[in-house]
Structure 1
């Protein structure tokens, strides 16, 4: 993977929020802490982890919707090259056209008092992309058709639609401005399983047809396995493992990743009870443990884990894209502890 292939590149990215009042009672909550990753153009990049791990905050930071307090993040699509940490003014307005978000809840994301046509058209009007109503209508019809919505749907209000149809409306609104980068934040989590498959297949088709790049945030590893070509695992604001999807699912290296995989339901009754179960809760970002942040819940932790924070270490794999893991003991665990 060359530099020219990278659409989004983050290096030591940190997102912090000041909390507390007064001069002597102020602290910073780092929801994302020192994250480095690269998202290749045209890829479907998955980001997984428990609730509270910082997935949504990272996605918002890459959309310039959350404050980048340290580190760097760059967007480069061949036409422009933006440093997201300092982006503002006209460049920020232009970036809004190139990077969009698909929300999680298709019921709360749409105004109940606005027709589907006006919901989809709003980004065009706000960003000044189209000059006339006729141009706007043409663009709305074009993207609605790609999202499997017909002309009759455009005249209705959101309450007349099912969850899957509402999510297609949300997708159309995100794509109408012609973005290159899409953050899909748990975009199928609120849908039935059968509808999830339909929406996921639609996203994959749109990716191919429009040349889109996705950051797909999810807690459902079975969905990630079906959709994504590269996966990063996040815990307490940090990446603990990242790899091509096949490599990660074939041989997860970090104990946290193995525990997440153990939670995937199996139809084989002989598999019940196998694997590693997580105990306890994810620590508070305001009171993070020293050393490896996962050591308070890891059955394989040793003194080194409690004192020294591991770095994300990259090793080669057959895909040539690398398999990185932040764990002091991953090599010996791969040899002695079955996944």
Structure 2
């Protein structure tokens, strides 16, 4: 495994058995053969429609759901873990190094706990501090980094706005001094102006603490503002992966192009061509043959319906899983 990357997955799959009968059960593959590498210190984005497997992929990297196929590795230079085989002291240490920022700042915080206790809870559960004074010092330190005042620590979550609550959630995630942070739709529930404030906070904390982010979102405008590299996921698989600017300037996959065409324009006179996606994402328990996207792709051929495409490198750092990407690019 290369030391350049914090997280590397190879053919990673996550499946869940469904159905009531023991001999009639099917497997719902929420994540299906994902190969990905997240560089150290990057702000790595994963985008896709609801139901594309983004959250399950993130939870697999946190060891919160079992990995049922393939492999995932974590290597920060100090420790090297196979995420599919973690237990005991190694799992406890990985929990300290990998943290999650939840989507809903209202549901993520206990209404019965003060802000101080909420932020301090990971330290106390993991036994990372030797005394209460050390806990309080660490809490005040991370609270200040997240732009929370000392008097805020005595209050309860109901006294705060959505943006303030999300800063509390960020402080709780960072108090254990992790290396890897997954932000799962962490600004989706906030107003646009507050979104920008939280995103700028995450970027400043990345520089200050040397963090690596996996940023899960369905909002392409937010991803364009924040991420260094973006992977596009559909039905549990990666359709396209590229540096952010490269992906937005020259998308190769029809699914990526359809997502981009749905971004609203600020120009009311812009009559740009919109590529609408017909139908719904197929059920993960009844996957299409061939390319997973062919049931909704306007450019699908018999080859797409019969054979699953391999991930191809179209230029440095840019890969795509599509039989016709070269032909479609020439047609444009």
Contact kept, 8 Å, 1:11 with 1:73, in 2: the verdict is yes
Partner of residue 325, structure 1: 320
Partner of residue 335, structure 1: 330
State how far apart, in whole Å, the 2-side matches of 1:40 and 1:93 are: 23
Partner of residue 36, structure 2: 37
Residue 103 (structure 1) shift: 0.1
The 5 A counterparts of 1:105-144 are 105-144=104-143
RMSD of aligned residue pairs (Cα, Å): 0.9
The 5 A counterparts of 1:99-248 are 99-248=98-247
The 5 A counterparts of 1:14-93 are 14-93=13-92
Partner of residue 311, structure 1: 310
Instruction: Indicate the larger mover: 23-32 or 272-281.
Output: 272-281
TM-score of the superposed pair, with normalisation by structure 1: 0.97
Residue 19 (structure 1) shift: 1.4
1:293 lines up with 2:292 in the alignment = yes
Would you say how many aligned residue pairs link Structure 1 and Structure 2? 332
Q: For structure 1, list consecutive stretches of 5 or more residues without a partner in the other structure.
A: none
Residue 288 (structure 1) shift: 1.1
Residue 27 (structure 1) shift: 1.3
SS at match of 2:313: strand
Residue 186 (structure 1) shift: 0.0
Q: For structure 2, list consecutive stretches of 5 or more residues without a partner in the other structure.
A: none
State how far apart, in whole Å, the 1-side matches of 2:327 and 2:274 are: 17
Partner of residue 7, structure 1: 6
Contact kept, 8 Å, 1:266 with 1:272, in 2: the verdict is no
State how far apart, in whole Å, the 2-side matches of 1:70 and 1:285 are: 16
TM-score of the superposed pair, with normalisation by structure 2: 0.99
Spell out, residue by residue over 1:171-205, the C-alpha distance to the aligned partner (whole angstroms, 9 max, x if none): 00000001000000000000000000000000000
